[in-house]
Amino acid sequence: MSHKVVTFGEIMLRLSPPGYQRFVQATSFDAVYGGGEANVAVSLANYGCEAHFVTKVPSHEIGQCAINALRALGVHTEFIARGGDRLGIYYCESGASQRPSKVIYDRADSSISRVGPGEFDWDAILSGASWFHFTGITPALGDGPAAATLEAVKAAKRLGVKVSADLNYRKKLWSPEKASAVMSGLMEYVDVVIGNEEDAEKVFGIKAGTSDVTRGELCHKGYREVARELVKRFGFEKVAITLRESLSASDNNWSGMLYDGAEFHLSRKYQVHTVDRVGGGDSFAGALVYALLEGMPGPQAVEFAAAASCLKHSIIGDFNLVGLSEVQVLAGGDASGRVQR
C-alpha cells in the first residue's frame, strides 16, 4: 500500500554557472528547480509513495515549469495554489577543493512568501495522509507562511497525521531570536525533528559539545546531549541529526544519528567526493520519513537515510534522483561504486 505524504514549502528556480565556473566567469546558467520540501517530495515519490507538494507559484510560464519539474518525477501537484508575481530564484556557484560553494538568494516577494492563514484547505489536503513534512525555511519566509505552517501542523495533529520538521536554519532569512520564537511554537505539533549542529544551536541554543565541522571534528557525545535536550524540551518521538565533517568543499565524511528517546543509532560513515551537495539534508529527511513509514527499526532507518543522502552528493541538481533498490544496495554495505551490468 502506498503511503500518502504531504510536504509544504517553497520551490525555486536555481541558476548555476556550468561545471565549477565562478559567477564572474559565467556566460550562461544551468536552470533546475528545487527547494527543501519539494526535494523531500521527489525522494518519496521515487520510493513509491503518493507524494503531494503544496506551495504557491505564479500563474505564468515559469511557475508552470516548476510544477512540470515535479510532475515529471511523479509528485502530485493538485494542491498547489496559483497567484502572485514571481517564483523565487537562487544562484548557486559550486565550490571545489578549499573554495566553498556560494548561494545568492533572489526570493523577496515570491508567491509563497505572500500566503497567509486560510489560503489552504488543510483538512482536504491531509485527508488520508500518513505524514506531513515541513522545514524551517517556510516559516522563515514571513509571518504569513509561518501562520499557514501552524495551521497545517494543527490540522495534521487533529487528523492523527505524523509530522516531521527539518529545522533548516537559514541566517539570510531570519535571526536566531526570531527563529527560536516561531519554531518553538511549531514544535508542539512535531513528532520527528531533523537537523544538524548549526540548526540546534542557532534555533534553540543547544550546542553540540566540542564539535568543529570546519576542521572535520565531531563530538558524538555532544550530539547525544543535543538529542536528549531536544526530547526533554519538546517531547519528540525521534530526533535525527546529520553529521557532516567538512574536509574540503569536495570531500566530506557523512553519517547520521537517530535517537528514539531510549537508544542512539549511528549509521556507518561515508567518505563522499561531492558533485553537488545541495539537497543532501533533504534527501536524508525524505529517506528517513520513508523508512519510518515502512516500520524499519532505528538502526536500519538511519542507515537507509544516510545511504540515500550519500548518493545525493553524486547527483547534479536539488533532487535525489535515485530509486529504492539503489539506496538498499548501498545501505546493505556495497559502497564499491562498481559498474552495474
Residues belonging to the active site: 282
Determine the 3-state secondary structure of 334 from DSSP.
coil
C-alpha span between 328 and 214 (Å, rounded): 30
Please provide residue 240's backbone torsions phi and psi, each rounded to the nearest 5 degrees.
Answer: -115, 135
Residues in the chain: 341
Residue 310: CB atoms within 10 Å: 27
C-alpha span between 144 and 234 (Å, rounded): 24
18, 27, 47, 6: which is closest to 322 by C-alpha? 47
C-alpha span between 14 and 312 (Å, rounded): 17
Strand 264-266, strand 251-259: pairing: antiparallel
C-alpha span between 178 and 210 (Å, rounded): 26
Residues with Cβ < 8 Å from 299, sequence gap 6 or more? 265
**Helices (H) then strands (E): counts for the chain:** 11, 15
Instruction: Classify residue 333 as left (phi > 0), alpha (psi -120 to 50) or beta.
Output: left
Determine the 3-state secondary structure of 273 from DSSP.
strand
Cell match 546493505: residue?
Answer: 332
